[in-house]
Amino acid sequence: MDENSSDQNGSDHNSSQKYDYDLFVIGTGPGGEGAAMQCAKDGLSVAVAEKYSRIGGGCTHWGTIPSKALRYAITSTMAALKNPTFREMGINVRPTLEQLRRGTQTIIGQQVTMRQSFYDRNNVPIFKGQARFVSENAVSIDGDEPITAKKFVIATGSRPYRPAGVDFSHPRIFDSDTILGMNEKPASMCIYGAGVIGVEYASMFRNLGIKVNLINTRSKLLEFLDDEIIDAISYHLRDQGVVIRHNESMEKIVPEDDGVVLHLKSGKRVKTDAFLWANGRSGNTDDLGLEHVGIVPNSRGQIEVDEHFQSAVHHIYAVGDVIGVPSLASAAYTQGRAAGMHILGKVDGNLRLYDIPTGIYTSPEISSVGKTERELTAACVPYEVGQAQFKSLARAQITGQTTGMLKLLFHRDTLQVLGVHCFGANASEIVHIGQSVMSPEGANNCITYFTETTFNYPTMAEAYRVAALNGLNRLF
């Protein structure tokens, strides 16, 4: 057992001291749930705190679930309305945002009910209210009698960064938490910030027929992606009619009765019906009483942790968006489980935290795992590229979703798969096939798996065979 996870840890006081719980988790999003369930199933006494009326965190109520549910409603509805058969039948309706959003609350309710059952089945009590540290081994819920625990996991998530001087109470100005409550569909929208959230909403609202201005503070969209994928999403957004402005920064935002005017430092001015601020997030750490335990968040309100997700105070762990990148619900859950395993003394939990795939729910989707061409070139790794264009796949032709491609990067000598990059319909699902082949070390990771395996036909998965053959044909 690692000494940091045992009673030898200097932050753990007298081992004979009695605590109310072995583990207390603050936050019931994916990270908190992962840690709580991992430890509860291994016999520890666990309790959690949730400040909101329903469990599930930002992922369930303001972020991943409602935004992806709305995205699906928009894409499926608009695809149906563009169907020539519907047009021929004279069906020409314009759904409202409220109608498109209607199914979201049902999905959220299903998620909450399911997640509540996890806590009930594993005898994990949920304390409702704001948990604040009053000492290194005790928290108080809304000022009530302190609850003590041997270990803690902070999984309080993040919120949109709100700069001073921007009036978020104005009915035309939104952030990513409030945009889903927008009632009227605007004719035009300006999105400031072209990270994952900004690009996803730009794609979503353009699909609704809204004129979109996407303001990027950097020189490229989504710089962490492979360059070819960046070029593809940039072209596709522009082809759909999104106006993208790179290397811009805000001077001021002026709300008016009939719109919002964004003044840029370059001298440009952009006026639209609605404005979405999507530039940066802050960790939810300002009301946790961290000053009582000696943990100091960084300038973004995030808690710095080590490879085991331990904070500077080793019996207090932190996982999920509150620690910063990658800020993905999927990663938060895995991080929570990894912290739980370390708490249990299982230091090597074999959780593959280094190959977390990206999933960007634009239309079409983007997903990738592993290295980019840019990274491999910088590291002087001799690699080759295999590609499959979706327009050449029978399944894509049948469904009409022919935009996109699968790109495999592999070592030209060992044939190990080094990176998988996908742009197109169902990319976030397709990428996992490549991820599985990348997982083993050594000879078991080989691009010839795709050429020697029979894929169902017609499927999108056969893109792997096409891309692998394409890449192997480049070798000499």
Tally the C-alpha atoms within 13 A of residue 36's C-alpha that lie toward its C-beta. Answer: 30
* 6 annotated to a ligand binding site: no
Minimal CA–CA distance to 292: which of 323, 313, 318? 313
For residue 165, report the phi and psi dihedrals to the nearest 5 degrees.
90, 0
* 5 annotated to a ligand binding site: no
Which position has the token pair 């009695």? 18
* 321 annotated to a ligand binding site: yes
* 193 annotated to a ligand binding site: yes
* 67 annotated to a ligand binding site: no
CB 131 within 8 A of CB 265: no
CB 366 within 8 A of CB 360: yes
Phi-psi group of 318: left, alpha or beta (phi > 0 → left; psi -120 to 50 → alpha; rest → beta): beta
* 261 annotated to a ligand binding site: no
For residue 56, report the phi and psi dihedrals to the nearest 5 degrees.
120, -20
* 200 annotated to a ligand binding site: yes
* 153 annotated to a ligand binding site: no
* 195 annotated to a ligand binding site: yes
CB 206 within 8 A of CB 199: no
Q: CB within 8 A of 185, min separation 6: which ones?
A: 96, 97, 208, 210
CB 336 within 8 A of CB 28: no
CA 172 – CA 262 distance, rounded (Å): 12
* 196 annotated to a ligand binding site: yes
Which position has the token pair 């795992």? 369
**Residue numbering of the annotated binding site for NAD(+):** 193-200, 280
User: Which amino acids are annotated as binding site, given as ranges?
Assistant: 68, 156-158, 193-200, 280, 321
Q: Please report, in range form, the residues annotated as the binding site for FAD.
A: 68, 156-158, 321
